[in-house]
Structure 1
Amino acid sequence: KAQNLELAIASYTAALEVYTRQAFPQNHADTLFNLGIAYQDAQRLTEAYTTFHSAIETAELLRGEIVSGDQSKRKQAEEWNKLYRRMVEVCLELKKSSEAIEYIERSKTRNLVELLFSPDFYPKLAISEEFKNQLQQLQQEIEEEKRRIEQAEKSNLQDSDRTQLNQLRQTREQLITRIIGLNPIRYDEIHNLLDKETAIIQFYIFNNCFRAFIITRYKEQPEIWQSEPQDLEKLANWMGEYLQLYSEEKKRWRFCLNDKLNQLAEILHIPEILSLVPQECKKVILIPNLFLHLLPLHALPLSLEESSEQYLLDKFPKGVSYAPSCQLWRMTQNKAKTLSDSLNFSKSPEMFRSAQHDNSSIVAGGLLFSHLFAIQNPTKDLEFTDIEVETIAAAFHPRHILKKNQATAQALSEPTTAESFRNANWLHFSCHGYFNFNLPEKSALLLAASDISPLAADAETSRYLRVSRDTEIDLENCLTLEDIFQLSLPNCRLVTLSACETGLVDFRNTSDEYIGLPSGFIRAGAASIVSSLWAVNDFSTALLMIKFYENLQTVTQNVPFALNQAQQWFRRVTQRELLQWLDGKTDMNAEQKQKVKQELEKRNKPEQQPFKQPVFWAGFCAIGE
């Protein structure tokens, strides 16, 4: 084997003399990738590191040309993802653990950029005409230069120099980075963003194991926990069973969820990973990888004993939040800080005192957030959604609510409504949600008149999507992820997606790891997003959301903390305590209150804890701040 590896290294090295970056950049990157693997297998790790680094530089210049709806190009993007994974492995073997984190981040960040700026997609984005024109012009010049070189080579002319082409590619890469504002994040930036009470746990799945990277202010380098190969096999089998159960037998899935989460905690070795987090850390940011994005990691039990009811969120009393990557977490942190600075009334005591006297505004920690925009039950088939939105909205002034038939896609585009939507501090969607695994950009929040059944025989097929055996949705009457990418939400503190499956992402496509409704709202400018990981129950969701907003109003405006506090209360509260809580809800009208009470009394006895099981409280997670 050793001799064969040396022969392979010699052959790939020779091939690079022909496959130069200037002449054949695609082949150059592929050959470097294979050479790096050979070096890695031969344990010549320094050479592997240098080779993978060079391959990544070439691949990043080419990204604008390899990503589109074309399957072969998507496959190429997935190959580049393997390149980053190899680089991370080599960094870890060379004890460059902080660089390993940087390459993980570089991969994730670029994958989001790929979707946003694929040639077919970027013209639809809400970017300035100047930038849009520059990008289109560059793309055109690159294609023209490629055609010129191809023609020169066919004619055996000498003028096939690729310097100009590579300069154009580099200019395009820089422009895309400027437009989206995602400069590669350095490890020291991540480290310095953390305070002494916060830890990051970043998961990463390799070919033969998975690892958890624990980043805190207490150590300069990350702590790293590594699984055994059999753990990865168990995790893959568990995930397959979980997804099959959820998609085919939801009733049984609900019944089995608690046991499934126990199994997952054991496979992930959660107690071992948490033992590496300093006791001083009271808050954690979880950064999943691949299919782990679909799972409620905050609800993993800390003990396998049935009598124990301690979950991961109990270990962090100041909150558990999620982020797609450290890069996007930095974006939401900066946005939250900007909003806090602009609305901090410490320099204006008179205005702050005035706000405190106004019970129709939410005031906490010296901050005032007032403007709520809500979508309420547009499909008119969610029994408790009206109670949820109207109770929550009572605390806000001004508020703009689109109820039932009013909540149309056309209404959102009308100037007055569009302005209110754009300037809202708080966005609340209480409706149906849908995630499209085949075309993630067509995932949607359903608005009025979006449900079509049956579909006309001559209907335009690209406009409609079948979501069940007898139901199709009209995408033009929905708020799709494609639409959300066009939004600008400069003042948005929180987007709450009180709907089914709004936190799902396309885990199967390794080139676009985190593409879903939350990333769309992050891109639009939201500091925090609350979304769901499964089809949630209308009644329990309404009560949980009302308690969540109550916490935001009276306890804290820290979104993860307020949500976790609501979840902990919700799982422990008895029927009797719920009825007492309802009696004190002055912002819920008497008729609605009676309806909720009847539902509680119909299903439960006074000492029962109706929402004890994770299926009722664990589906929602806070992403961002």
Structure 2
Amino acid sequence: MRPPQIALLVSLLASFPAGLLLPLPLLPFSSLSALAQTLESRDAEAKRLLQQGGQQYGKSQYQEAIESWQQALAIYRAASDRNGEASALVNLGNAYRSLSQYQRAIEYHQQALPILQQVGNRNGEASALVNLGNAYRSLSQYQRAIEYHQQALPIFQQVGNRKGKASALHNLGNAYRSLSQYQRAIEYYQQALPIFQQVGDRNGEAYALVNLGNAYRSLSQYQRAIEYYQQALPILQQVGDRSGEGITLNDLGATLFATGSITAAEKTLVAAIKIRESLRSELVDEHKVSIFEGQASSYRTLQKVLIAQNKVEAALEIAERGRARAFVELLSQRLGSQQPVSQIQEVIKAPDIQQIQQIAKAQNATLVQYSIIYDNFSFEGKETSRESALYIWVIQPNGKISFREVDLKPLWQRHGSSLASLIVGQQEFLAVRNRQGLTFTSPPQPDLPTLHQLLIDPIAELLPQDPNAHVIFIPQGPLFQVPFPALQDAKGDYLIQKHTILTAPSIQVLALTRQQREQLASRQKSNGGEALVLGNPSMPSVSLSPGEPKQPLSPLPGAEEEAEAIATLLNTKAIIGEEGTETAIAQKMSQARLIHLATHGLLDDIQGLGSAIALTPSRTDDGLLTAAEILDMQLQAELVVLSACNTAGGRVTGDGVIGLSRSLIAAGVPSVLVSLWAVPDAPTAELMTAFYKNLQKNPNKAQALRQAMLSMMGTHPQPKDWAAFTLIGEAE
């Protein structure tokens, strides 16, 4: 019997063409054994990298997973291990699909496919075809998706993989449903259903029933849809699929609402929300955010049901309950780290209407909460989810609650636009030249009046007459990127000329930032820290997208001048150039009472936690202070100003924006001043200097920012130069 090392070597040699074996020198047994051990260790390292990448992928650490799998791919290719190579390629394709880089995902799957065909891995070949189909479906190329699923189907049949066959049929049904070909989708679901039943795949059976219900709901055959949902529910309960049960209850509730069974719809949707919330209880913050994305529809649908019954206040409670829940739990746990768990759990419950009114009173502010409502429509021959309405609640300091509804359907029905595209277009207009050295092509006219018409006109008479009174906007989804100060009324006046403006991720977050401020005030009486001001550090090199070579960021002389001027105002010394290392700044941040960082900002709108502030790299760090690293800090600052590009950005989720601002507030900072777009260098320095001068006269941060913006209008009339920054959290 051969030793395992020699067996491995023989198997590797046997895979080479015969002609390549002749020139090999004869090696003694000890050398052959050493070579085999080396090859075996390389194989083990590749398997370890594959597994490591899988673990990183499971934590949504996509960049790290890509690096692990690329290393594994190189080893497998060097060893001519075709199966291993195909596995690494498939994994890389899935990672890029998770990053929404669908074209790149397709490239990797297309590389894997011929290898799987060559090695005769028919199951792997069919699975790769399914992956390609799913990637093309994500690109809304439904016909191509259908082609790949149809190629996979006979392969699964040939190898006798009945479960794979049922899955391919089910995916075909999904693709045809996306094309609004509901009857054809039903045919595929009905073919898949008995196979799932025969092979004992109870989950597959349940989801086939659910999707049959969805198809019949799209055909307005609501009673048949209800019957299929009701068949699926006990199966999902039996197999313990709580997530599927919550999804199905949500679909059932929406269908009951469509039939006019409003009371039953409300009861069903409340049950769906209860199940879905239970799934988040034991997860870490990152996974709570991810799972919430698929749960948001239940909150939106229940709001519609409640508004249909004129239950305005109950709908506000659900709107608040359906946002920033992971953020609220994170803040509550950190604020109450010394409190019993039972007390923390009581705090993190969504506020009722009386508590919402108390928060408005404590803030002495008018709160404006937005909720975007979506519905499914057939558009250009495809079923799609589109904005249908905007709900707006105004909560005044005296507790009075008012409600307005705005119809959003005309935006896309008549004008081919949407609220989200209006906001994106506005950002492109405003971001002309910036601290990243990028240039954008501007549309000919900004559309600030249309945004004002949609967001402000319906509630204008409910806002305070005193321009110094606080108005706190609580956005949702794309509304987080709205430059509220720059919204322009029919007369051409900007909103900042009439109101003092702040924003917050949710009403309950305001209550928690108020607690943060009070805790800091008590600590700073005994330990008042200094101001930390940084400008234009020696810049790091960065890769602007996965797999691309790194290049150094350009220096920012304007940011250096800004830091010098502000440091003089704050009676401290600015940190400039090579002194601004990531390690040094991170250490100083933990003790500072005020933090001002004027440098490059890097936006990560895929994961969010990769958003970063550029600092000087050193032997122990890469010079990028990321949102993930800030999340682990404990800060004492009452205000952090990120005078850089896109620092309010990140991954927009139902839990708010996952990025630098969220991490700073979670780290203990009650007030954060961040930018909505790529800010221009010189005007930003002027705005910031004016802000701090005003702050010395009046400690109200929101009023100081307003006055700085008003003064900037005289010298820089364009909103791109003064309207980028938003104050999140506390004004005082």
Q: Same fold (TM over 0.5)?
A: yes
Q: Is the 8 A contact 1:66 1:76 kept in 2?
A: no
Q: Is the 8 A contact 1:115 1:512 kept in 2?
A: no
1:620 aligns with 2:725: yes
Tell me the secondary structure at the aligned position of residue 463 of structure 2: coil
Partner in structure 2 of residue 262 of structure 1: 449
Partner in structure 2 of residue 272 of structure 1: 458
Tell me the secondary structure at the aligned position of residue 506 of structure 1: strand
Task: Give the Cα separation in 2 of the matches to 1:443 and 1:77.
Answer: 21
Matches within 5 A, 1:200-349: 200-207=367-374, 208-218=388-398, 220-231=400-411, 233-242=417-426, 256=443, 259-266=446-453, 268=454, 270-279=456-465, 282-303=469-490, 305=491, 308=492, 310-316=493-499, 319-340=500-521
Partner in structure 1 of residue 650 of structure 2: 505
1:374 aligns with 2:518: no
Tell me the secondary structure at the aligned position of residue 88 of structure 1: helix
Tell me the secondary structure at the aligned position of residue 295 of structure 2: helix
Task: Give the Cα separation in 1 of the matches to 2:593 and 2:433.
Answer: 39
Q: Is the 8 A contact 1:388 1:546 kept in 2?
A: yes
> Per-residue deviation at 1:436?
0.9
TM-score (norm 2): 0.58
Aligned residue identity for 2:691: F
Task: Give the Cα separation in 1 of the matches to 2:621 and 2:584.
Answer: 15
Q: Is the 8 A contact 1:111 1:513 kept in 2?
A: no
Aligned residue identity for 1:403: I
Cα distance change, pair 400–97 in 1 and its aligned pair in 2 (3 A): farther
Moved more, 211-220 or 244-253: 244-253
Q: Is the 8 A contact 2:709 2:722 kept in 1?
A: yes
State the aligned residue count.
Answer: 476
Partner in structure 2 of residue 25 of structure 1: 242
Tell me the secondary structure at the aligned position of residue 100 of structure 1: helix
> Per-residue deviation at 1:506?
2.0
> Per-residue deviation at 1:98?
2.1
Aligned residue identity for 1:497: L
| Cα deviation digits, residues 461-505 of structure 1 (max 9, x gap) | xxxxxxxxxxxxx9832110000100111x321000011111113
Cα distance change, pair 248–494 in 1 and its aligned pair in 2 (3 A): closer
Q: Is the 8 A contact 2:331 2:512 kept in 1?
A: no
Partner in structure 1 of residue 178 of structure 2: none
> Per-residue deviation at 1:284?
0.2
Tell me the secondary structure at the aligned position of residue 391 of structure 1: helix
1:94 aligns with 2:313: no
Partner in structure 2 of residue 405 of structure 1: 578
Partner in structure 2 of residue 431 of structure 1: 599
Tell me the secondary structure at the aligned position of residue 590 of structure 2: helix
Matches within 5 A, 1:98-109: 98-109=313-324
Tell me the secondary structure at the aligned position of residue 553 of structure 1: helix
The equivalent position to 2:673 in structure 1, one of 518, 530, 538, is: 530
Task: Give the Cα separation in 1 of the matches to 2:647 and 2:696.
Answer: 24
Aligned residue identity for 1:392: I
Query: Which blocks of at least 5 consecutive residues in structure 1 are unaligned?
Result: 132-173, 346-367, 453-473, 573-608
1:83 aligns with 2:298: yes
Partner in structure 2 of residue 590 of structure 1: none
Task: Give the Cα separation in 2 of the matches to 1:393 and 1:3.
Answer: 65
Cα distance change, pair 521–252 in 1 and its aligned pair in 2 (3 A): closer
Aligned residue identity for 2:295: W
Task: Give the Cα separation in 2 of the matches to 1:179 and 1:443.
Answer: 30
Q: Is the 8 A contact 2:647 2:674 kept in 1?
A: yes
- The structure showing larger relative contact order (alpha-carbon pairs under 8 Å, at least 6 residues apart) is 1
Aligned residue identity for 1:59: R
> Per-residue deviation at 1:388?
1.8
Q: Is the 8 A contact 1:16 1:31 kept in 2?
A: yes
Cα distance change, pair 23–405 in 1 and its aligned pair in 2 (3 A): same
Q: Is the 8 A contact 1:203 1:211 kept in 2?
A: yes
Partner in structure 2 of residue 147 of structure 1: none
Cα distance change, pair 477–344 in 1 and its aligned pair in 2 (3 A): closer
> Per-residue deviation at 1:563?
0.6
TM-score (norm 1): 0.67
| Cα deviation digits, residues 505-558 of structure 1 (max 9, x gap) | 323xx455421111111101111011111111221111111111111111x111
Partner in structure 2 of residue 492 of structure 1: 637
Q: Is the 8 A contact 1:63 1:114 kept in 2?
A: no
Q: CA RMSD in A?
A: 3.8
Partner in structure 2 of residue 145 of structure 1: none
Query: Which blocks of at least 5 consecutive residues in structure 2 are unaligned?
Result: 1-216, 375-387, 540-554
> Per-residue deviation at 1:237?
3.9
Partner in structure 2 of residue 150 of structure 1: none
Task: Give the Cα separation in 2 of the matches to 1:247 and 1:541.
Answer: 13
| Cα deviation digits, residues 232-281 of structure 1 (max 9, x gap) | 65424424544666789988868658723234323x15233212335468
Cα distance change, pair 553–241 in 1 and its aligned pair in 2 (3 A): closer
> Per-residue deviation at 1:386?
2.4
> Per-residue deviation at 1:287?
1.2
Tell me the secondary structure at the aligned position of residue 569 of structure 1: helix
Task: Give the Cα separation in 2 of the matches to 1:488 and 1:230.
Answer: 47
Tell me the secondary structure at the aligned position of residue 373 of structure 1: strand
Partner in structure 2 of residue 563 of structure 1: 705
Moved more, 102-111 or 19-28: 19-28
Cα distance change, pair 21–431 in 1 and its aligned pair in 2 (3 A): farther
Tell me the secondary structure at the aligned position of residue 542 of structure 1: helix
What percent identity do the matched residue pairs reach?
A: 28
